[in-house]
Each structure stands twice: as C-alpha cells, then as structure tokens.
Structure 1
Amino acid sequence: MGWWDKKPEERGRWVLDPLVAVGPLRFGMRHEEVKAALGGKWNGGGQGTADGWHWTPYDEDCVTAVYDQDGYLVGVQVAAMGGPFVRLDDVELISRVPSEARAEILGLAARRGAEVTTNRGGDPQIAAWGLSMTTEQEWGWLPEGHVGRMDTVITSALFTAPGVADDAAASVIAGYDVRDLVANPGSWPVTPDDERPRWGWAPLEQVGPLRFGMSPHQVAAALDEAPAGRTGAFPFWYWKESGQWSLHTDHFEGAGVTAQYWAPDGIPQLGAVTVHGRTGPQLHYEGIPLVGITPSVLEAAIIQHVEDHDLGLRFSPAGAAVPDGPHLYLDATRAGDTSVSEPTFFTEDWHL
C-alpha cells in the first residue's frame, strides 16, 4: 500500500518515550528486531557509510531507521506522508501545520523545563527528548482526481537515542555531511517580486551571468561573492575520507542561487543552477514568472501555456508540470507553512 492510499485510521499511532523508544521501536534494537516490530515488512535497500553507520527504509510504514557501527538502532525518521502519527504527552508531532506544532512543542518544553534550540532546517530540536522536527511538501488528492503536491508543508520528525546528535543521524540518511549546508535561523522570508533582480536565461547556455561549463572560481567571480556553504562527497563512502573529495554545490546567499557542478573530465564545471525560491532573482518562461510563485498557480499557468500552444508536457520527480524541451526543472521550497516555486536550469546530459 502506498502512502497515498492510507486513510488516517490506517496509519499507526505511536507514543514517544524520549531517548528510549518511539512506538514499538526501542533504541538499541537490531535490524531483525525492528523488522519484526513493524510486522516483518521490509522492502530491502539502505546504504552504509565508511565508519559503519547505515540507514534502512521501511517503506510500507514510511519510516527510516539509522543504525550505528555496531548495528544498533540509534535513530528513527518518520515521514510526514503516510508515516505513523507520533504523540508526546498531548502534542501530536507528525503531519501538522509547522507553526501550530512548533507552538505546542514550545509550550510543552516550557512546562517540562526542557531547552529548545533550532536545528539546521530552522525547526525546533530538543536534545533532552532526542527530537528534531523537520518538514516535507504536502501531497494529496487534487480536484482533478489524482494525487499531486499541495502548496503547503507539514511536519515530519527525526527521533534519536541518547548521545546521538541529530546532525549525525541526518547525515547518514542524506548521504553528505549536513554541517556543510547553510543553517536556517528559523524564518522563511520571501522577497517581494518587485524587489528581485531580473535575469535572463538561454536553455543549455546560461542563467543570468552564469554560463554552463564555468569553473567554481569563475562562478564566484561572475557573482562577485564567495559561497556561504558548499556540499560535496568522497566517491565511495559519502563524506568520509576515501578518495578525492568532489565538489557538488556552492550556495550563494547574496545572489540567491546554488551552483551545481559535475566533473565529466575530472574537473568540476557548472552543470545546473538552482534559483532560490524565497530570495533569488526572477526569471521568466514565455512571460510566466518562475521564481517565488505559489506552486499551484505556476503549474496552472504552465499547463495553460502548453495547451494554448500545443506543446509537450512532462512532470518532474517533484510532481511539477514542466514544458517539454527547455531543460527546466521546477521544485518548491518552504516558505513557513506554505511553499514557493524554485526552478533549476540545467545543461544537456545533466541528471537531477
């Protein structure tokens, strides 16, 4: 059963016992014990790291387990869509409006005397409870009769064992060191459209001042800005030291873009540009603004244009309608409890 087929009453209802267990999963369990606790369901899959940590998805339950180098359960990530509902006292943590969940979590923490900090995603984390809140794009049944992404985000969460930092567990799942990412302070301001610079773009050639094939140094020079954060990986075991470290992205906060690199000849060169939905410059496709737009509004405009001009239409992995041909990918990024459009422009043979 996929998450889209699950009714609320068909999802599990778990209770968090901080630093001890979440639902039937107790920290310190082995994989076979976790699988048994989830009814013996496991679709296979997972990945390991150089120091022996690994993660395993349990897709039917919409949870991901993180195991340490000794094979013991140290983290559980519960998905917003289809995952079990998790409660701590009278606070429901999963599939909530983020601002509402945050207010209730802060209230509970105040009553219990627990310290609340902000994680790198900008959401509450409470080390004393092994709790780190996260969010995901909300999906649901659309009026057209099919499942699609909504304009809103809802809460998910990562639960960890004692002494396990949420960054460490999140790194294992993400496949890179989350410390290399720019931290969100806990706010999601969106720049008004009339205050954004206007950039042009030419498919397969350039985005604003950035030309595909540029080196990282040339990208920084073209933007007149040093990257605020960057991600990369070693070729075999994620971020651990094994082989030559490879640069994947440079994040430019001032310009509001992320440069993505590939190295077909062994040397990093610009292969894609993501324009930040909340703060990046505005770009247009046939007169349609692409950046910082309510996703459903943008999708309706794209579909109408395609129908009016008898063009091809495809859907991105993120579920967005995209005109066929211009090497354009449309995603969405969080803007508080909602989301705004965030496009990526890429060169030929680039794999998103």
Structure 2
Amino acid sequence: MNPDQVASALDGATAYVSTGLGSGVGWGDYSDWGVTAVYGEDSGLVAVAIDAMDGPLVRLRGVELIARVPSEVRADIHALALREGASVRVNWSGDPEVAAWGVSMGAAPELGLSPEGYTQRRDTMITYALLVGPELAEDPYTSEPVIRWSDVREKAPNPGAWPVKAEQDRPHWDWTPLEGIGPLWFGMNPEQVAAALNEVPAARHGRYPFGQPWEGFGTWMLHDDRFDTVGVTAHYSCGFGTPPTLGAVTVHGRTGPQVAFDGIRLIGMTVSTIDAALERLAENEEMGLVVGCGGDFGPDGLNMYVRATRAGDNVVSEARFCQEKWEDHG
C-alpha cells in the first residue's frame, strides 16, 4: 500500500507528523488512529507501529497484543510459539520478538485521567507492537527504513530483566538546585565528571556537526555519558568549537542514588506518589509546578523534572537535574 491507500483505509486519516511521505522512504503518524505507518523505497508500506494508549486492539491468533500487562503478553506469545514451533527472541527493549510472525513487542507507561479530568501518569506499563513484513522481520528495529522512524541504536539494550536497587543499598546525594547534584557540579568537563564518579562511562553518545553554515564541519561533539555502576547519565552542553561541559544529570530510577526534595524521595518510587506530593505542595502555594515536554512534573524555577522509567510491568521514578540555562527536551 502507498500513503494514499493507507489514508483511505483509515477513513481519510491525516498523518499529523510525517517525514518523506509520497517521496520514497518515509513515515506518517496517524495519531487519531494510534498508528504509525513506515514506507520503503517505493513508498510501499513495510511496517506498522501500534500505539499502546491510542492504537487499535490487535489480535494474533487469539492473543491480544495491545494495551496489556507486558509479562502476560510475553507468556501468551511464548505459549503460542510453542504450539506453532516458532522461535521467540528478546528484542532491544527486553520484549518478545518473533521473526516468523513479523512481530516485535514493546511497552510504554500507561496514562489515565484524574477525577478532575486531567491526564495523569500511572505506575504501570502497557504493551505496543511493531508489525513488519518478511523483508524486515529478522531485525526490525535496526533495518531501513524503520531506523529512520525510531533509531534505538543509542539506547541501552535490555536483556529482559529490570532489577530495582533496594532503598537501603542506594547512597544518598545532596542536590543544590541549578548548581549541582552529589559530587557533580554543572560546568565540569567530562574528565572531571568521570573522576568525581570514579567510573569509566559505559556508553558515550554524541554527533558530528551537520555542516550547516552556522556550524561548519568539525570534530565529534559529546552529548552524554552513561555511568551504569553509579546509576546516572551526565548530559553536556556543547557546540561547534565549544568543549562539552556538564549541563544536566539524570539519576536512574532503578539503580541511581537517592535524592530528596522537601522531604519527598525522588528516586525509585512510584511515580503517582511523587506527582501527588508535588501537587499538594503546589496546592498549598509553597511552590509553582511546571510540566516538562514528556509530562514530567517539577518545581517551578529549579529546572528539575521527575521522570518515569520502566521496571518490568511497572514504572519507577527517576529525575533530571539541570543547570539554569539548560533546555530539557525529554
């Protein structure tokens, strides 16, 4: 199917976010349907992603795939594969993938409505699916053109387990808003960050300049370092001709140190509990409340956002602490 045929099949749906539709390789997000269509070289449909919250309910030979508890879907897929003699493997996100069926599962945090009708985060994960044709089935997420829609190569692969460090095993870090967190101070260079944590980064992410007139060609620019033992990611401010300096720190929810704000433990907790505590502070006019681009709550003026990370079928809280001029984009 080409993009026009897909739109017709979806009752004339419009792709509100799209890249390259009708010009060859591209993709379109049909948000009214909760579906993303990915197209190959000839603008032919090669993959469909079904959203966890808004997508249609998809059934595979009696197994419901969408908006369910991930472990329950995993068990059902393994049982079906056993009956049919199909092989199940673990994909990049730690979820089941079956090449014979062109199915790669995933999970996203569940959202709900508050009694007042506002969107609120829940403490659970629900499933989504990427469905592909046979030419992409052997490695859906690292194949063209899917990789242009969702590039997961820089994300830490998960083996299918999400252990959460116990509270008593976490060190406690102090936070000085807009200045630093634990032994890290904004403005440090990457060597100082690694020395302060006494750890070599497990992964480094960055890019080369794009060659635009205002940027020019140059050396590779470091964006972030991930430290798995300590349980943090260091994010750097950098630019053409400007060396990287620490601008933000994400404390990982499953493994990072504990950090408190106004008596509220921010790390490794249920997200709904922290959201409710921050809302109470705002209602008591003790502070303002801001919402980040990913729906993350934070105290106004402190450039800190409480985020959610997966812990199997559930989510736990983590937080990003930023310097004053840092613009957080999720």
Q: TM-score, normalised by structure 2?
A: 0.88
Structure 1 residue corresponding to 2:293, chosen from 317, 331, 334: 317
Q: Hey, what's the Cα distance between the residues in 1 that align with 2:4 and 2:290?
A: 41
What is the match of residue 331 of structure 1?
Answer: 307
Please say if residues 66 and 172 of structure 1, whose CA atoms lie closer than 8 Å, have aligned partners that are also in contact: no
Displacement of 1:133 after TM fit?
0.5
CA separation of 1:234 and 1:62: change in aligned 2, threshold 3 A = farther
Is 2:104 the counterpart of 1:128? no
Q: Is the contact between residue 61 and residue 83 of structure 1 (CA under 8 Å) also seen in structure 2?
A: yes
Identity across the alignment (%): 49
SS in structure 2 of the partner of residue 179 of structure 1: coil
1:201 aligned residue: 175
The answer to whether the Cα contact below 8 Å between 1:205 and 1:347 also exists between their aligned partners in 2 is yes
Deviates more, 1:158-167 or 1:315-324: 315-324
1:18 aligned partner: none
Q: Which runs of 5+ in 1 are unaligned?
A: 1-28
1:1-352 to 2 correspondences below 5 Å? 29-47=1-19, 53-164=25-136, 165-168=139-142, 171-174=147-150, 176=151, 178-236=152-210, 245-264=220-239, 266-308=242-284, 310-352=286-328
How far did 1:308 drift?
A: 3.8
Q: Which runs of 4+ in 1 moved over 4 A?
A: 234-237, 242-245
Cα 1:235–1:310 change in 2 (3 A) is same
> What amino acid maps onto 2:224 in structure 1?
T
The answer to whether the 8 Å contact 1:229/1:250 transfers is yes
- CA RMSD, 1 decimal: 2.1
Inter-partner Cα distance in structure 1 for 2:219 and 2:147:
19
**When the two structures are aligned, how many residues end up with a matched partner?**
315
CA contact (8 A) 2:142 2:153 kept: no
- Tell me, in whole angstroms, the C-alpha distance in 1 between the residues paired with 2:29 and 2:206: 23
Kindly state the Cα deviation for residue 307 of structure 1 after the two structures are TM-superposed: 3.5
SS at match of 1:109: helix
**Which has the larger displacement, 160-169 or 198-207?**
160-169
Cα distance, 1:43–1:76 mapped onto 2, change above 3 Å: closer
Following superposition, the deviation at residue 167 of structure 1 comes to 2.0
Distance 1:47 1:232 in 2: 23
Give the deviation of 1:43 after TM superposition: 3.7
Match of residue 16 from structure 1: none
Q: Post-superposition shift, 1:234? A: 4.6
Distance 1:338 1:328, change over 3 A: same
1:47 partner amino acid:
T
Residues 280 and 291, structure 1, Cα contact 8 Å, conserved in 2: yes
Structure 2 contact 206–222 (Cα < 8 Å) conserved = yes
Q: By how many angstroms is 1:235 displaced? A: 4.9
1:243: Cα distance to partner?
A: 7.3
Shift of 1:207: 1.4
**TM-superposition CA deviations, 1:56-78 (whole Å, max 9, x none):** 21111111122223322221111
- Higher mean alpha-carbon deviation, 61-70 vs 155-164, is at 61-70
Structure 1 residues 44 and 233, CA, compared in 2 at 3 Å: closer, same or farther?
A: farther
Question: Please, which runs of 5 or more residues in structure 2 have no aligned partner?
Answer: 212-216
Cα 1:161–1:214 change in 2 (3 A) is farther
| Amino acid across the alignment from 1:87 | R
Contact 1:74/1:161, CA 8 A, preserved across alignment:
yes
Query: What are the Cα deviations for residues 46-103 of structure 1, in whole angstroms up to 9, with x where unaligned?
Result: 236xxx7432211111111222233222211110111011110010000001111111
Question: Could you list the per-position Cα deviations for residues 195-227 of structure 1 after superposition, in whole angstroms to 9, with x for gaps in the alignment?
Answer: 101111211211112221222333222222222
CA distance in 1, matches of 2:198, 2:27: 39
Deviation string 1:83-139 (CA, Å, 9 cap, x unpaired) is 011110010000001111111011011111111111111111111211111111111
For 1:262 and 1:74, locate their aligned partners in 2 and report how far apart those are by CA, in whole Å.
37
Q: For residues 286-312 of structure 1, what are the alpha-carbon distances to aligned partners after superposition, in whole Å with 9 as ceiling and x for unaligned?
A: 221100110111112222233345321
